[in-house]
């Protein structure tokens, strides 16, 4: 069955286009054509989008929770499905359920649940993000340092055990041996630096060993200073590294965001939410790593006042990137779709509206409201 999506402002590689139609055949985009192309009239179904934007689906590599579910609390298939459904309402069509530092048993359960979710076809699941427990106590943030440890051979084997999806591991490279880091990379794990006390030299060396980028740039890492550039300076200075960033107006000042955009080559900075259970849910508080986290005026903090993830959704991150940082809509959307896809090594199948790509799409109106999404060609109204 072929579906034609028409009468939208379609975001293609070179910008927004009117009078185009996107043809979906099964779970893939089969063609992008002019509105008057004969293939549009021949489609089994024609869907008019009434002038709304048609965008590549958003991809979020750091999703701790949503819909009142927290992955650490219930590392099972049902929680993953609930989290994915909550974030889909805000345009996220691909995500990595994210487990923060925990026991080896909980990590194994989370990996097994992710594998089961992929096998069951839970919409949007692209793999798993293990954020910790190989982190620096000095930069622990809201993580429970009691779980911190250095990875041994069995830890590497576990981290690399997911079948059928991507695995992202956030670690502090100064806390991990070169042998363990190389072993993770050689087994196909995407490694990012985060919650790290690394110096500039230490992180630059880690990039040379295969670390691909950094998790939530500026947060939980050594800052950029005049005499010691720190992890932030290394991330900004290294041309090939990728940087995830939380654009909620709380984690990073807009001026710092603009500085990062100027420093990094185009395509190397992408949006993440670091979202917690309140996104798409109703809870005003929850437990994280044994700590009570309160949500007040959109800010999630533990009882010590430290930020504990966010209440950010992806369409709001895109909107903030336009309104607070000053990027145009097309580039802000790429930071939420094409660039994270490329970071995950999925740039040839996800994150763009083009023939042969996954039919993961977002319909958004001019008021930043998500009207409809498609995941693998299957529509859902929001």
Active site residues: 274
Residue by residue, what is the 3-state secondary structure of 15-74? EEEEEEEEEEECCEEEEEEECCCHHHHCCCEEEECCCCEEEECEEEEEECEECCEECCCC
- Give the DSSP letter of residue 203: H
List alpha helices for 130-199, DSSP H: 153-159, 178-186
Instruction: Put the strands of the sheet holding 291-296 in their side by side order.
Output: 285-288, 291-296, 299-302
Q: Are 233 and 215 in contact (CB under 8 A)?
A: no
Alpha-carbon distance values, 42 to 20, 23, 188 (Å): 15, 11, 43
Task: State both tokens at 210.
Answer: 């295969």
Task: State both tokens at 26.
Answer: 């099964």
293 phi and psi angles, rounded to 5 deg:
-115, 130
What is the number of other CB atoms lying within 10 angstroms of the CB of residue 182?
15
């Amino acid at each position: 069955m072929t579906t034609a999506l028409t009468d939208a402002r379609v975001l293609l590689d070179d910008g927004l286009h009117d009078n185009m139609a996107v043809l979906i055949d099964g779970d893939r985009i089969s063609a992008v054509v002019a509105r008057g192309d004969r293939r549009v009239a021949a489609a089994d179904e024609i869907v008019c989008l009434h002038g709304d934007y048609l965008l590549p689906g958003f991809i979020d590599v750091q999703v701790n929770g949503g819909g009142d579910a927290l992955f650490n609390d219930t590392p099972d298939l049902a929680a993953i499905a609930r989290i994915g459904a909550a974030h889909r309402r805000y345009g996220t069509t691909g995500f990595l359920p994210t487990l923060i530092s925990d026991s080896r048993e909980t990590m194994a359960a989370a990996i097994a649940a992710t594998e089961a979710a992929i096998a069951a076809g839970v919409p949007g699941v692209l793999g798993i993000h293990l954020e910790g427990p190989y982190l620096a106590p000095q930069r622990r943030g809201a993580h429970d340092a009691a779980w911190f440890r250095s990875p041994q051979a069995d830890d590497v084997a576990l981290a690399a055990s997911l079948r059928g999806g991507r695995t992202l591991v956030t670690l502090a490279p100064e806390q991990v041996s070169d042998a363990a880091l190389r072993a993770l990379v050689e087994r196909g794990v995407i490694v990012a630096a985060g919650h790290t006390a690394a110096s500039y030299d230490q992180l630059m060396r880690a990039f040379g060993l295969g670390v691909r980028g950094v998790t939530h740039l500026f947060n939980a890492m050594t800052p950029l200073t005049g005499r010691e550039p720190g992890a932030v300076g290394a991330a900004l200075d290294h041309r090939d590294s990728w940087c995830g960033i939380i654009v909620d107006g709380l984690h990073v000042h807009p001026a710092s965001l603009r500085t990062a955009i100027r420093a990094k080559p185009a395509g190397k900075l992408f949006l993440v939410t670091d979202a917690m259970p309140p996104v798409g849910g109703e809870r005003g508080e929850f437990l994280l790593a044994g700590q009570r986290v309160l949500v007040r005026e959109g800010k999630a903090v533990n009882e010590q006042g430290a930020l504990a993830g966010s209440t950010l959704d992806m369409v709001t991150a895109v909107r903030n990137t336009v309104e607070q940082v000053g990027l145009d809509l097309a580039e802000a959307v790429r930071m939420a779709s094409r660039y994270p896809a490329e970071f995950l090594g999925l740039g040839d199948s996800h994150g763009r509206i083009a023939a042969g790509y996954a039919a993961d799409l977002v319909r958004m109106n001019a008021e930043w409201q998500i009207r409809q999404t498609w995941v693998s060609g299957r529509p859902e109204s929001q």
